[in-house]
Amino acid sequence: MMEEGSGGGRSNYNRMNDAKNERRVGLIYDQRMCQHRTPYGDDHPEKPDRITVIWNKLELAGIPQRCVILNAKEAKDEYICAVHSKNHVNLIRNISSKEYSKRNRIASKLNSIYLNEGSSESAYLAAGSVIEVAEKVAKGELNSAFAIVRPPGHHAEYDEAMGFCLFNNIAIAASFLLDQRPELGINKILIVDWDVHHGNGTQKTFWSDPRVLFFSVHRHEFGRFYPANFDGFYTMVGEGPGAGYNINVPWENGRCGDADYLAVWDHVLVPVAKEFNPDIILVSAGFDAAVGDPLGGCRLTPHGYSVLLKKLMDFAQGRIVLALEGGYNLDSLANSALACMEVLLEDKPISELSEAYPFESTWRVIQAVRQMLSAYWPTLADKLPTKLTDQKAPPHILLSSSESDDEDDDASKIISKDLVQAVEDVVEPILNLKIEDYHGNEVKNEVNSALWRSKLSKTDIWYAGFGSNMWKSRFLCYIEGGQVIGMKKLCSGSVDRNPPKETRWKTFPHRLFFGRDFTQTWGPGGVAFLDPRSNSEDKAYMCLYKITLEQFNDVLLQENVPDHDMNSPLFDLNALDSILNEGSIPVEAVKRGWYHNVVYLGMEDDIPILTMTCPLSAMESFKSGEIPLCAPSKDYADTLVRGLVEGKQLSEEEATTYIQVASTKPL
């Protein structure tokens, strides 16, 4: 063991490695970082055992004896202040000396944070340790290194601790190399964040900095997975000089495994890394995407991690620093960390992954990421061949499970979408049984969701857009996800992201008007509504999109209550039959929304035309003034004008007049 310090009280070995050509790999572990723990001694996913199990696993494998063991050092305030505010640094420095009750009050105001008398020292040691190994690797004293640290860091923002993270360890180290040690010649840093959660803090630190290429692959689920916002969506690419240097690959679902991650490496990360040509690579090495992790729900194996890391070794002359982030299944955590250390030591050849295919959703995300970034990285401009993207795993429907975390044990028994129809009669009675995944969670709802989606995907309807959805680019946000100019928030998109099969225009005898005075999507100003009652004196232009009834359900959801659980359809085949006679059906499941009233407008090519607007009761509230009528903002009105002009229905002047009349004419 090549040691440069005690590493927290372990015995010294002074012998140098006999193999001169063996890579010099640094390792930091210090038991003092175990002093950060819950104040009441409660069990918690981010617990001291996380780093001790890694160290014990490495020791059993004889890894430390082959490494350069470094001392953990506390980071200096000046280095931390390059990433965090002075107030935040002062808070973390002094938090452990505060009274017990005051410390707990502070923690209770933060997002997923606990604090105790050992938190300050642990946070400073974690940040300092990553700086220490990064500097050694940058100097060439080490080829690579692993900092086994806690608390983790990638969620910590400029002025806020969150998500178990106090200081942003990896961002502090990157800033140190770029700004404090220019003589080392580190001008370009690639940060790879493979933690299952988005590295929001790291992203914000380097948002406009072209010296850092930040890459994060994470479970996102359209903003429903922690940290539960759209910062991790693929449209977030950086700004100013940093535009294009922020890459997010947001998984739409859990259970992504080796094949999914490898596809992202091969078709996004590796091509861009070749163009970027980093001087060093820093890895936010969270292992909570590993098999069996209670928080992550993904399926990366230790071998999968080793393949991903091996591919990174081809860049920056193999100068790589791993800094521990998440990972909460202790067995998977230790096994994955060992697999990565064996790669850094070039212990054995790494074989490619066995024949397995990514999910269809993975290819969809990869293609969206490539398209979004192609303006910045020409290597991503080419469309992936259909022959490649057709190689996909069946939809992720869990029908049974195993409690085993063995990497070779396929706990997820999967059936293809093509078989759903054939097994519906068998599966539907089973839905009344309690079926659990490998964490003991019920998966009945997931099977149910796949079944109704399969059924409704076979039925087409015309969706009639009368407001901003008249502009096709805006409507596609509800299908493909994203946003257009003027929108203040992203749309999550539909599960089925295929574009409308056809687009047409028609006019209908209904009154268009503008009401409400603020929306989260558009900000101040009114938005379009349609009087659900027809009137021969009224005329409303509408753009008709031929989509599936499944997609219509997703549009209905996004127009109303985006956080509603879609274990069952909002508007099913029975509702479709009923509306032909009833004319309109208020959807109770999303009645909090403003557009929960589905209205039948007639037939086009024997396919029903549906739109969504306010219920009749709201019309009375608009008339009485209880709900305000309000002219649209310029940004919102411009989307209607674009739709009408691009749809060749009206000239720009005529479209502007049409909107002005609709917003001023009394109800």
Q: pTM for the whole thing?
A: 0.65
* Measured distance CA(447)–CA(461) in Å, rounded: 24
**pLDDT in the model for residue 21:** 59
What percent of the chain is modeled with pLDDT above 70?
Answer: 88
pLDDT (tens digit, 9 = 90+) per residue, 470-497? 999 999 999 988 888 888 888 888 989 8
Q: What is the pLDDT of residue 224?
A: 83
List 155, 197, 220, 267, catalytic entry:
155
Q: Over range 329-358, report the average pLDDT.
A: 89
User: CB–CB of 185/137 below 8 Å?
Assistant: no
What domains are there in the chain, each with its CATH number? 25-390 (3.40.800.20), 452-664 (3.10.490.10)
What's the pLDDT score for residue 404?
Answer: 30
Tokens of 520: 């989260």
Candidate from 33-37, 155-159, 387-391 with smallest mean pLDDT? 387-391
Q: What digits encode the pLDDT tens for the residues 235-278?
A: 999 999 999 999 999 999 999 999 999 999 999 999 999 999 99
Please state, in angstroms and rounded to a whole number, the distance separating the CA atoms of residues 435 and 443: 6
Do the Cβ atoms of 137 and 86 come closer than 8 Å?
no
Annotation marks residue 267 as catalytic: no
For residues 640-648, give the mean pLDDT.
96
**Three-state secondary structure call for residue 251:** strand
Beta-sheet pairing, 597-604 with 584-586:
antiparallel
DSSP state of 515: E
Reading the block at residue 553, the tokens are: 């359900």
Torsion of CA 223, 227, 231, 234, to 10 degrees: -60
Query: How would residue 614 be classed by pLDDT, with cut points 50, 70 and 90?
Result: very high
Band the pLDDT of 449: cuts 50, 70, 90.
Answer: confident
For 311-343, the pLDDT digits (tens) are 999 999 999 999 999 999 999 999 999 999 999
